[in-house]
Amino acid sequence: MAPTDPPGPASGARAPDVRPPGRIPVGPLAGFAALCLLICDPHALFGHVATRLNDHGPAYLHVIEPRMQGIDLAVVGQGAVATQQLRKLFGGTVIAAGAFEPETAERTVADGDADLIAFARYFISNPDLPERIRLNLPLSPYDRSTFYAFDAHGYTDYPFYDEEKAARA
Ligand SMILES: Cc1cc2nc3c(=O)[nH]c(=O)nc-3n(C[C@H](O)[C@H](O)[C@H](O)COP(=O)(O)O)c2cc1C
């Protein structure tokens, strides 16, 4: 890879770059957020960061809700508190993630608390996730024992809805 190339899969195939030219996305690191919970006031810190980012016009701000800790739901019943706060402070596009279900994702966008919702775990177990949400189809559960494993199992072998239905028939 040439030093100036953007990061991409080792195979040489590249995902399309959807960022507006010259603008970078911002997503404060989860580890940093976890550290912050221990040593500082996350409302003050991330509120300050989101406010100051307005001066730089990043492509988007990607927020992970604090109800998630890594890949686990740590706080049951907590709403989308981070994006609700930061959306008011940051004027650009906000992408929220972290334990959203299709219904709560729709509501969060409809309420104006985020522009877009990102899914992680459900996208792993549902390769046709957008289609399933659009058609209100049931979602396949994910198997967390395969997260962070080092082969394709649990990443590329979840069935599409039609395949799942055919296997059940
Ligand atoms: C297999 C896996 C890998 C992940 N890798 C990252 C990562 O590299 N950086 C990061 O900020 N979050 C990572 N996350 C965490 C998600 O960004 C996020 O906390 C959460 O899983 C999203 O919520 P959801 O899974 O409920 O949709 C990962 C999650 C999973 C399941």
Domains, in order of start, for the chain: 30-168 (3.20.20.70)
Residue range 43-71: average pLDDT?
A: 91
Evaluate the CA torsion angle 38, 73, 80, 20 in order and state its sign: positive
Residue of minimum CA distance from atom 26 in ligand 1: 99
88 φ, ψ to 5°?
-75, -25
Query: Quick check: CB of 121 below 6 Å from ligand 1?
Result: yes
Cβ–Cβ under 8 Å, residues 83 and 113: yes
For the segment 100-114, what is each residue's pLDDT rounded down to a tens digit?
Answer: 999 999 999 999 999
Least confident of 89-93, 117-121, 124-128, 148-152: 148-152
Cα separation, 86 vs 93, in Å, equals 11
Q: Report whether pLDDT(99) > 90.
A: yes
* CB 143, CB 149: distance < 8 Å: no
Distance 70 CA to ligand 1 centre (A): 6
What pLDDT, on a 0 to 100 scale, did the predictor assign at position 158? 95
Report the chain's mean pLDDT, rounded to a whole number: 85
Q: Given a cut of 90, is residue 41 above it in pLDDT?
A: no
Residue 27, CB-side half-sphere exposure with 13 Å CA sphere = 13
Is the shortest distance between the CB of 26 and ligand 1 below 6 Å?
Answer: no
Mean pLDDT calculated for residue range 23-43: 66
Residue 45 in contact with ligand 1 by CB distance below 6 A: no
CA distances from 70 to 1, 66, 103, 121, 155 (A): 30, 10, 22, 11, 18
| The pLDDT of residue 5 is above 60 | no
Ligand 1 centroid to Cα of residue 71, in Å, is: 6
Dump pLDDT digits (tens) for 58-98: 999 999 998 998 888 989 999 999 999 999 999 999 999 99
27-36, 104-113, 138-147: segment of lowest average pLDDT: 27-36
Tell how strand 72-73 and strand 68-69 pair up: antiparallel
